[in-house]
Structure 1
Amino acid sequence: MACVDCVSGNVHSGSSIGQEITLAGLPTYATGDPDSKRIIVIGVDIFGWNFINTRLLADEYAARGFRVYIPDLFDGRELPQWTLSAVAADTPTLLQRMLRPLSLFAFVPFILRNSKTAQSAKIGTLLKQLRQTQADAKIGFIGFCWGGRYAITMNSDFDATVACHPSLVKYPTELDNISKPISFALAAEDPAGFGAVRGKEAEKLLKDRGLTDLEVIIYDGVHHGWTVRVNMADEKKKQARDKAKEQALAWFEKYLTIASQ
């Protein structure tokens, strides 16, 4: 399911340092050492590949030695950022409270345009090109909110994945393809449906199937979408955002390891 927090949050300040390229026919933000054999593909939330928050986060990953790509999975038609100011996550005005339900209507045509089949095909085509051109690289995928679903459904295609507050997950059937290392970063209370209770259920289910390279970390006091759209002026929530960033980086540093020559 989707929720109000899927279309709300804060815009972060800063300037990205990467470049815009074309990868597998998709406009893509690329950052980090182009010769790195440790690659991270980001599955964006509904605000798309141009969203400054996601680009700044990608730059932070790149600073740890990864090559990072943010492909445009929405054909340039991401959700407009006016919904963020219309539905401010922390201290909304009366008008903003009234606009919150209305903003979800912008989400409906977005869902219709971007089916699971279409999204999976784009991610799969990009991954295929990376496998062909960089056969000796390790490739991970991290998804946020909308993109978090594909960290689950396409886990077996990558070397490791991280799912941050995934939405629209068909549980438990979409966990069937998980066979590679996967890490979950979840808000304790998540109206999008993948909070602490669901996370603990998924952890048990996957462990019962024999998956050992697995972690589920629950964050209290944050809302759905906090890993990319948190209010950075709120120190406690910023700390949670930074901990989730370190969670993902530690996971990829562990599982996107290149054997010594």
Structure 2
Amino acid sequence: MANELRPCPCDIGDRFDYGGRGQEVQVEHIKAYVSKPSTSTDKAVIVIHDIFGWELPNTRYIADMLTANGYVAILPDFFVGQEPWKPSNDWATFYDWVKSRDAGKIDKEVDVVMKYLKEHCGAKNIGVIGFCWGGAAVQHLMLKNTHLKTGVSLYGVIKFFDDKSSLLHPTFFIFAEKDEIVPLEQVTVLEQKLKQNTKVDYEVKIYPGQTHGFVHRKKENINPQDKPYIEEGRRDMINWLNKYM
């Protein structure tokens, strides 16, 4: 996703060589990747992908990680058949590309996915996590959707909060100290607005030395200094979901 001041320098990072443990399903007009734990549960998490789409192995890896922690995880194609961004694309065309993929206009798809989770997966408690573009989508949903239990926004571009915005549900915000796409000045403004307006539980956490995408686009074994923060971010995400679901 992009800093509003300049085109997105978003790098796909370390593409995982990962096949996934779940299966692809058709949910009305949406394709989705679904992963279910071996024991029954009424807890489910909607995973919202970044600009690289629902088929990115890295994001499916995170969905399966949620399943390993006892959640039904569903990773829908929120671009609904439109092409995801490709690393080979020209960044000069990014703004035109993203105009038809608005992170604040996924409510119809979320309703369809929630209906599927309730009717086909036995879900009664549903949370949401999202990365980059999906992180912004989580922010939108935490301000608008009354049916979700909680959310985790990972390095989402901050654009849905005005001076009167108030979260409806407990929300955890993960940011990277050296994120060129979501600068710390924007994070500071977000914290000020949350402090003024929000009555539910929330947390904003900045991970030292990390760059955009670190929780799901970096391999733990590439840079040893990053490994503790990658693991911490994933652990914090799971702990937050466990606390509120």
TM-score, normalization: structure 1? 0.80
Equivalent in the alignment of 2:132: 145
Q: How has the CA–CA distance of structure 1 residues 175 and 186 changed in structure 2, closer, same or farther, with 3 Å as cutoff?
A: farther
Whole-angstrom distance in 2 between the partners of 1:12 and 1:4: 22
SS of alignment partner, residue 203 of structure 2: strand
Answering whether residue 103 of structure 2 is matched by residue 103 of structure 1, we say no
Equivalent in the alignment of 1:239: 228
Answering whether residue 13 of structure 2 is matched by residue 9 of structure 1, we say yes
Equivalent in the alignment of 2:35: 31
Verify the 8 A CA contact 1:161 1:183 in the aligned structure 2: yes
Whole-angstrom distance in 2 between the partners of 1:31 and 1:179: 27
Q: 1:248 aligns with which of 237, 240, 245?
A: 237
Amino acid at match of 1:149: A
Deviation of 1:210 (Å): 4.4
Q: How has the CA–CA distance of structure 1 residues 254 and 27 changed in structure 2, closer, same or farther, with 3 Å as cutoff?
A: same
TM-score, normalization: structure 2? 0.84
Deviations along 1:163-184, whole A, 9 cap, x unmatched? Answer: 00002x3253297252210000
Equivalent in the alignment of 1:68: 73
Equivalent in the alignment of 1:58: 63
Equivalent in the alignment of 1:112: 99
Q: How has the CA–CA distance of structure 1 residues 116 and 13 changed in structure 2, closer, same or farther, with 3 Å as cutoff?
A: closer
Aligned residues: 236
Amino acid at match of 1:114: R
Verify the 8 A CA contact 1:16 1:52 in the aligned structure 2: yes
For structure 2, list consecutive stretches of 5 or more residues without a partner in the other structure: none
Verify the 8 A CA contact 1:19 1:29 in the aligned structure 2: yes
Equivalent in the alignment of 1:94: none
For structure 1, list consecutive stretches of 5 or more residues without a partner in the other structure: 87-101, 257-261
Answering whether residue 25 of structure 2 is matched by residue 18 of structure 1, we say no
Between the aligned residues of both structures, percent identity stands at: 24
Structure 1 vs Structure 2 CA RMSD: 2.5
Whole-angstrom distance in 2 between the partners of 1:225 and 1:54: 11
Deviation of 1:33 (Å): 2.4
More helix by share: 1
Verify the 8 A CA contact 1:152 1:175 in the aligned structure 2: no
Equivalent in the alignment of 1:221: 209
